[in-house]
Amino acid sequence: MHQIRPRPATDTGRIDRPVSGALDFHQVFALTPTPLMILNRDLSIVYANAAYLATVSCTLSEIQDRNVFEAFPETDARTALFKAAFHQALDGTENVLMTEPYAIPVDGGGMREVVWSCTQIPLRNTEGEVEYVMQNALDITAEYHSERENRVLMRELDHRVKNSLATMQAVTRMSLVETKSMQEARDDLLARMHAMSEVQNLLVERNWSGSHIEAMLSNALRPFGHEPKPDCRIQLSGPYVPVSAKQAQALSMALHELATNAAKYGALSNDDGTVHVNWTFEQANGSHFDLTWREAGGPVVKQPTRRGFGTTMLTRILAQEINGDLTLDYKADGLVCKMEGWLESEK
């Protein structure tokens, strides 16, 4: 519930001369597009313009001379809040009150939820005494919900940024502890940062609503020569499979490591090697999926003598993210990586 905020009295000093001619102020009030209602000191409704009556879906005869809280029943807490705002205006202080969402009737039956920003303005008689209070009610429902959505988005952005920074720190740390020259460490780190940036771009394009396997793989493998052509040496095959933003990032980084290894030592290190990536998905079996990376036509494969970042990324981090298992088979004719697990789409 928002507090009542006093505001400076409306300055009428610039109106320094009377209107010339016969101007029907009753008609001006009635046709003003902003909802306006006037109460007397007993908080009975004296008058309301067409915009106000349209907003509350009633006629003037249905509410005129009735106490405002009888005409529009409210909770005790909200009644107290509005009553305080009205009395503050009747005591001479213009004020603004923003309300929480509440339901009002609509033509044809039913209710709709609105949020109003209500300004209470004292109306004085010729002796300068406050005789009435005019309420100017602005429908700010769209702005209210937009603000709430923005707050949710900012919390989500904060969460994602912190996760991304943590991932970058881990990637940096693990890249630099591997046994290699500083130039190699620099090149590997920049390549991994670029891969992270690319998957972030993909997810941003989809408003962080996740992605799907083929789009994620295409995005990750494009720097290594993948194109959606029948004669491309990197071929993708599988059904449409949605994947959450978090899992898309992990899968993308894993495929980057596999492709980097293939470009340095495997099937993509010569002109003849090929890579086939295929996957299956069983929605009926708890969103179970499996994916196979299969290389062929490259140099003879040898079992690595040490466990580097790429192996750690695949066997520990990715396996954890997909809630499953991953195996690396260093066959002489080409590396085969198999992963299986359970995917979660964005909610």
pLDDT, tens digit, for every residue of 217-235? Answer: 888 888 889 998 989 999 9
Mean pLDDT across the stretch 27-48? 95
Dihedral sign, Cα of residue 298, residue 304, residue 309, residue 312: positive
Q: What's the DSSP call for residue 295?
A: E
pLDDT confidence of residue 317? 63
Instruction: Report residue 162 as tokens.
Output: 């912190």
Which stretches does DSSP call E strand in 35-160?
Answer: 36-40, 45-48, 95-98, 102-105, 111-114, 116-124, 130-139
DSSP conformation letters of 34-69: S-EEEEETT-BEEEE-HHHHHHHT--HHHHTTSBHH
Q: How far is CA 109 from CA 56, 57, 104, in A?
A: 12, 10, 10
CB burial readout 44-59, b (16+ within 10 A) else e: bbbbbbebbbebbbbe
Q: What's the DSSP call for residue 237?
A: E
Do the domains at 22-139 and 182-342 have one common CATH topology? Answer: no
Mean pLDDT across the stretch 26-49? 95
Tens-place pLDDT, residues 139-150: 888 888 887 777
Residue 270 confidence (pLDDT) above 90? yes
Q: Does the structural domain 182-342 have CATH classification 3.90.480.10? A: no
Between the two ends of the chain, the Cα-to-Cα distance in Å is: 30
The domain limits of the chain are 22-139, 182-342
* Angstrom distance (rounded) from CA 329 to CA 343: 23
Residue 336 confidence (pLDDT) above 90? yes
pLDDT confidence of residue 99? 74
* Angstrom distance (rounded) from CA 258 to CA 246: 19
CB 274 within 8 A of CB 287: no
Q: Which residues contact 237 (CB under 8 A, 6 or more apart)?
A: 276, 277, 278, 279
pLDDT band of 42, cuts 50, 70, 90: very high
Give the helix/strand (H/E) hosting 212.
Answer: strand 211-212
CB 130 within 8 A of CB 120: no
Residue 100 confidence (pLDDT) above 80? no
Which fold does the domain 22-139 belong to in CATH?
Answer: Beta-Lactamase (3.30.450)
Q: What's CA 30's distance to the chain center, in Å?
A: 41
Query: When comparing pLDDT for 140 and 196, which is higher?
Result: 140
* Angstrom distance (rounded) from CA 119 to CA 181: 69
pLDDT confidence of residue 59? 93
pLDDT confidence of residue 1? 47
* Angstrom distance (rounded) from CA 44 to CA 27: 22
Residue 184 confidence (pLDDT) above 90? no
Give the residue carrying structure tokens 């066997």: 315
Instruction: Report residue 261 as tokens.
Output: 């290894």
pLDDT confidence of residue 147? 79
pLDDT band of 86, cuts 50, 70, 90: very high
Tens-place pLDDT, residues 278-332: 999 887 666 888 999 999 999 999 887 766 666 666 666 666 777 778 888 999 9
Mean pLDDT across the stretch 82-97? 95
Exposed, middle or buried: residue 8 (CB in 10 Å: 0-12, 13-18, 19+)?
Answer: exposed
pLDDT band of 347, cuts 50, 70, 90: very low
Most confident of 50-64, 99-113, 148-162: 50-64
pLDDT confidence of residue 121? 96
Rounded to two decimals, the pTM is 0.51
* Angstrom distance (rounded) from CA 63 to CA 116: 19
Mean pLDDT across the stretch 243-268? 85
CB 338 within 8 A of CB 329: yes
pLDDT confidence of residue 89? 96
Residue 103 confidence (pLDDT) above 90? no
